[in-house]
């Protein structure tokens, strides 16, 4: 069975400190993996994606994620949090390209001034 | 750059009424997906279309139907609305079919409230 698990429903960091949002997936196939961000009352914005190319993926706004097949993980990181990073982050998995995305339950990131 | 357009952005209906949501994909995108996001929940896939044909079906209720038109825009028709249909409905567009597309781009969503 294919699934995606976000290990933390809520992460709180101080401004200027590193961000780590954890995501694990389960798949019998080679997945495509995405991170989307949703700001309050806004749509979903693609942060970055992994589609079997480089395992370290750089995205927008200073975010990056590393695909680790041995750990079935795709954690999202950022060296220094900014107030504008406060939002809901979804780890998303797809099989066979980007068809039928399966969303994790989301991690709400709070950034403390 | 042009993005996915959804209309209306907000819609208020009463129980048992009908609603139609529209989605205009990014130019030259031929695939459209619909998702439903309930309050505090993650988006759930409803249905998708590629080249005006239904390509896949998720957890879409029988009361809902959708289609993709010749200009690639899509409409989600919802009948006999229930309170539980209140949600944010996202449309996403992409290029290619199930096996070749690699990224879905989401619209801002339509917030449907059923009273």
Instruction: Name which CATH class applies to A3-81+90-112.
Output: mainly beta
Q: Which residue has the tokens 């429903």?
A: A9
Residue B109: phi and psi, rounded to 5, are: 95, 155
Residue numbers in A near B1 (CB within 8 A): none
CA separation for the pair B6, B10 (Å, rounded): 10
What residue of B is the nearest CA neighbor of A51?
Answer: B102
Report the alpha-carbon angle A30-A60-A98, nearest 5: 30
The three-class DSSP label of residue A56 is strand
Other Cβ atoms less than 10 A from the Cβ of A101: the count is: 26
Distance from CA of A41 to the nearest CA of B (A): 9
Of residues A65, A42, A41, the one with CA closest to residue A54? A65
Q: Are A15 and A83 in contact (CB under 8 A)?
A: yes
What are the boundaries of each domain within chain A?
3-81+90-112
Tens of pLDDT, residues A77-92: 999 999 999 999 999 9
Across the interface, whether the CB atoms of A99 and B48 are under 8 A apart is answered yes
Q: Residue B3, Cα to own-chain centre: how many angstroms?
A: 15
pLDDT of residue B98: 53
Asked if B103 has any chain A CB less than 8 Å from its own CB, the reply is yes
Asked if B96 has any chain A CB less than 8 Å from its own CB, the reply is yes
pLDDT of residue A16: 97
Across the interface, whether the CB atoms of B98 and A103 are under 8 A apart is answered no
pLDDT confidence bin for B102, thresholds 50/70/90:
low
CATH number of B5-114: 2.60.40.10
pLDDT confidence bin for B103, thresholds 50/70/90:
confident
Mutation for testing the B interface, residue in A5, A44, A93 having most B CBs under 10 Å: A44
The three-class DSSP label of residue A100 is coil
CA separation for the pair B104, A48 (Å, rounded): 11
Per-residue pLDDT of chain A (113 residues; tens, 9 = 90+): 668 899 999 999 999 999 999 999 987 777 888 999 998 877 889 999 887 778 899 999 999 999 998 999 999 999 999 999 999 999 998 876 556 788 899 999 999 99
**Which of B41, B94, B109 is closest, CB to CB, to A98?**
B94
Q: Are B33 and B92 in contact (CB under 8 A)?
A: yes
């Amino acid at each position: 069975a294919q699934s995606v698990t976000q290990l933390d429903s809520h992460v709180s960091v101080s401004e200027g400190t590193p961000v780590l949002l954890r995501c694990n997936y389960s798949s019998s196939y080679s997945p495509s993996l995405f991170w989307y961000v949703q700001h309050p009352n806004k749509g979903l914005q693609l942060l970055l994606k992994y589609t079997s190319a480089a395992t370290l993926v750089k995205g927008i706004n200073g975010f990056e994620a590393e695909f680790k097949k041995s750990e079935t993980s795709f954690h999202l990181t950022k060296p220094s949090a900014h107030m504008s990073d406060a939002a809901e982050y979804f780890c998303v998995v797809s099989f066979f390209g980007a068809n039928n995305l399966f969303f994790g339950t989301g991690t709400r990131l709070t950034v403390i001034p | 750059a042009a993005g996915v357009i959804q209309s209306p952005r907000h819609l208020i209906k009463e129980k048992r009424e009908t609603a139609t949501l529209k989605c205009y994909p990014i130019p030259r995108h031929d695939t459209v997906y619909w998702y439903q996001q309930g309050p505090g929940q993650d988006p759930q896939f409803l249905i998708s279309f590629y080249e005006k044909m239904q390509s896949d079906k998720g957890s879409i209720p029988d009361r809902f139907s959708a289609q993709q038109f010749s200009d690639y825009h899509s409409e989600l028709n919802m009948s006999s609305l229930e309170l539980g249909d209140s949600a944010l409905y996202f449309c996403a567009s992409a290029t290619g079919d199930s096996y070749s597309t690699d990224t879905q781009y989401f619209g801002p969503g339509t917030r449907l409230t059923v009273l």
